[in-house]
Structure 1
Amino acid sequence: MVCICFLVDQRRTKRNMKPVAATCSRCGSSAKVADIETSTRFCKIPFHWKSRKAIVCTFCGATLKSYA
């Protein structure tokens, strides 16, 4: 019996963070709006990218609201 396993991973990067008039509901810290890029890789070769905007807490990193 042969078992072949492939590595699939997903990376998220935050770009262009701008301050917004909001506070985090979890920790009470300030929040920023950020462009978030998600790239999915299959055996170290990227094959899918997705970009979205989200409001992110600057202290705990929680995503408060996400936009398509």
Structure 2
Amino acid sequence: MVVFCFLVNQTRKIRRTKPVAGSCSRCGRGAKVADMLTSTRFCYIPFHRRSWKAIICTFCGATLKTYR
């Protein structure tokens, strides 16, 4: 018996934020630097976690720049 399971789930969470000088290029509001955590699951089993930094908008939530 062969069972195929192709359920992939990816979640992003913001751990910490700090305000940054400047504004969003899309809406013109303020921006912040955030420590992000991305978790990827395959068939409900977590197999990859990645921590990274990003500059995100405080109003529209757009990711303006990412750092590894």
TM-score by shorter chain over 0.5: yes
| Number of residue pairs matched by the alignment | 67
- CA-to-aligned-CA distance 1:20-55 (integer Å, 9 cap, x gap): 001000001100000011010011111100111110
Match of 1:46 in 2: 46
Q: Give the % identical residues.
A: 69
Letter in 2 for 1:37: L
* Structure 1 runs not aligned, ≥5 long: none
- The list of structure 1 runs, each at least 4 consecutive aligned residues, that deviate by more than 6 angstroms after superposition, is none
Q: Say whether the 8 Å CA contact 2:5–2:43 is kept in structure 1.
A: no
Q: 1:43, 1:9 → 2: CA distance?
A: 8
Match of 2:65 in 1: 65
- Greater Cα offset, 16-25 or 2-11: 2-11
Q: Does 2:36 align with 1:14? A: no
Aligned to 2:4, the other structure's residue is in SS state coil
**What RMSD, in angstroms, separates the aligned Cα atoms of the two structures?**
1.4
Match of 1:24 in 2: 24
Aligned to 2:41, the other structure's residue is in SS state strand
Superposition TM-score, scaled by structure 2 size: 0.90
**Residue 17 of structure 1: how far off its partner (Å):** 0.6
Q: 2:3, 2:51 → 1: CA distance?
A: 34
